[in-house]
Structure 1
Amino acid sequence: MLILSRKRGQSILINNDIEIYIASIEGDNIKVGIRAPEDIVILRKELVEEVQANNQEASSAHVDPNLLKKMKF
């Protein structure tokens, strides 16, 4: 992992087409701007982890086949 120090207004450039921009710093909060090509998906890690945990929980849930037969679709 590469760790860099940046100040407000400074950027990090990745592969010449992804820019990470430090927009503001207020106490413990840092606002980060990301400029990237439209085909690059940018997601917050905690949301990805939450979706993965929910998917794992749903896939391991026991479903009664008889209950499914009674459902109308």
Structure 2
Amino acid sequence: MLVLSRRVGESIIIGDNIQVRVLKIENGVVKLGIVAPDDVRIYREEVYNAIAQHNKSVISQETALESVMKLKEVIKSDKDRR
């Protein structure tokens, strides 16, 4: 992990097109401004983690549904053979 110290008004540049600027420090809270291209998604970590967890649960549900549908086809074809 890279650790940098910045004062209010100072920035860091990530890659060629992302700028993170310290806007304000008050009561232990740092306010950041981020300038990035429109196609770069920027999330707070807790929001990103919630989205990732939701996506994992949807994938699990889809996988479970696919398994049930395959099992249904196996049972149907087994009944058709009788």
Q: Please give the TM-score of this superposition, normalised by the length of structure 1.
A: 0.70
Higher relative contact order (Cα pairs below 8 Å, separated by 6+ residues): 1
Aligned to 1:3: 3
Inter-partner Cα distance in structure 2 for 1:16 and 1:58:
35
**Superposed CA offset, 1:8-48 (max 9, x none):** 01000112211000000002101000001111111111111
Name the structure with the higher helix share: 2
Q: Please give the TM-score of this superposition, normalised by the length of structure 2.
A: 0.63
Structure 1 gap ranges (5+): 66-73
The answer to whether residue 48 in structure 2 is matched with residue 42 in structure 1 is no
Q: Report which of the two structures shows the higher radius of gyration computed on alpha carbons.
A: 2
- Aligned residue pairs total 64
Q: Bigger CA drift: 54-63 or 17-26?
A: 54-63
Inter-partner Cα distance in structure 2 for 1:16 and 1:55:
30
Structure 2 gap ranges (5+): 69-82
